[in-house]
């Protein structure tokens, strides 16, 4: 896969994520945040599980397991915090705040893996932040929901760096996806059952949202990201998927009646332009590790 194809796939995933943000808000009419996360991730895990058989077997190794554990734990924390944040903020605001991962990721990649911060990535990240601020109309007052989304963005930034490192070193994207989804479900479902409102009746009432979140926002989108990050950098991925904010605002306007001003539309245009610029720039594919082995596994 070329870097261009990987980046365009990430842009497609951003569109699905953004439109799926509406379901992240409306599912809270039926399920508490932990139950919602647990159910969507369980659905994602069931869908991905058969695909593991298509990947070559890998002998167990300490470094491989540790890397997979880091990716899975960061994913679980990020997705739970994001869902909790929707209790106290709008879809448009949440979409903006989670996009601050765009700026955090290049610096996290530089600190953790020594990924060079290029002028193109820095410019695109800066434009994305400006565009997202315009799109949201500014953050008038921070509440607990906003803080949860910001913490989620920080975890997503670390997750994208660890995911990129894991995917490029070890391959086996379906195994990584299944581990992330199962880890989040195992953590969330018992808590939702004992401390939330998880029940068969409530899950049945939320089936349209669970279908959107479990199939598209979880299995398809995170699957695309896990595969695509074998062929592009974490910094590129962060800027491109930040276009989620644009599609999130569009979905909120269409389905929830949230309105975006002219300034907001200008911000959306800036964000989309930055994502498209980075998606279509910069050369060939990153060479991933061969599927039949990886150094240090």
User: What is the DSSP track for 10-39?
Assistant: HHHHHHHHHHHHHHHHHGGGTS-HHHHHHH
Which candidate, 71, 81, 78, 83, places its Cα nearest to that of 24? 83
Question: What region does 261 belong to: left with phi over 0, alpha with psi -120 to 50, or beta?
Answer: beta
Percent of the chain with pLDDT over 90: 26
What 3-state class would DSSP assign to 117? coil
How many alpha carbons lie under 13 Å from residue 20 in its C-beta half-sphere?
Answer: 25
CA distances from 211 to 133, 184, 216, 217 (A): 31, 17, 8, 9
pLDDT of residue 205: 93
pLDDT tens digits, one per residue of 60-110: 577 888 999 999 999 999 999 999 988 887 777 777 778 777 777 777 887
pLDDT tens digits, one per residue of 143-198: 678 788 889 988 998 998 898 888 888 888 889 899 999 999 999 999 988 888 98
Judge residue 55's burial from the number of C-beta atoms within 10 Å of its C-beta, 0-12 exposed, 13-18 middle, 19 or more buried.
Answer: middle
Give the global pTM. Answer: 0.79
């Amino acid at each position: 896969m070329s870097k261009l194809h990987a980046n365009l796939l990430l842009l497609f995933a951003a569109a699905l994520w953004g439109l799926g943000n509406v379901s992240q808000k409306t599912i809270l009419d039926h399920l508490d945040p932990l139950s919602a996360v647990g159910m969507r991730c369980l659905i994602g895990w069931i869908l991905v599980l058969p695909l593991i058989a298509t990947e070559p077997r890998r002998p167990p190794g300490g470094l491989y397991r540790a890397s997979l554990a880091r990716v899975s734990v960061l994913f679980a924390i990020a997705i739970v915090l994001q869902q909790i944040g929707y209790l106290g903020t709008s879809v448009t605001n949440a979409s903006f705040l989670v996009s601050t991962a765009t700026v955090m990721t290049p610096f996290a990649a530089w600190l953790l893996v020594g990924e060079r911060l290029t002028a193109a990535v820095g410019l695109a990240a800066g434009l994305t932040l400006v565009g997202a601020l315009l799109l949201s109309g500014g953050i008038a007052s921070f509440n607990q929901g906003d803080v949860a989304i910001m913490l989620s963005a920080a975890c997503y930034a670390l997750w994208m760096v660890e995911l990129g490192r894991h995917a490029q070193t070890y391959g086996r994207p379906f195994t990584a996806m299944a581990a992330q989804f199962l880890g989040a479900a195992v953590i969330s479902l018992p808590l939702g059952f004992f401390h939330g409102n998880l029940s068969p009746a409530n899950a049945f009432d939320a089936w349209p949202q669970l279908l959107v979140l479990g199939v598209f926002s979880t299995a398809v989108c995170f699957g695309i990201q896990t595969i695509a990050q074998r062929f592009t950098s974490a910094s590129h991925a962060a800027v491109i998927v930040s276009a989620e904010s644009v599609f999130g605002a569009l979905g909120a306007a269409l389905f929830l009646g949230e309105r975006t001003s002219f300034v907001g539309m200008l911000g959306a245009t800036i964000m989309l332009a930055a994502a498209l610029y980075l998606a279509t720039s910069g050369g060939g594919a990153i060479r991933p590790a061969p599927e039949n082995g990886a150094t240090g596994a």
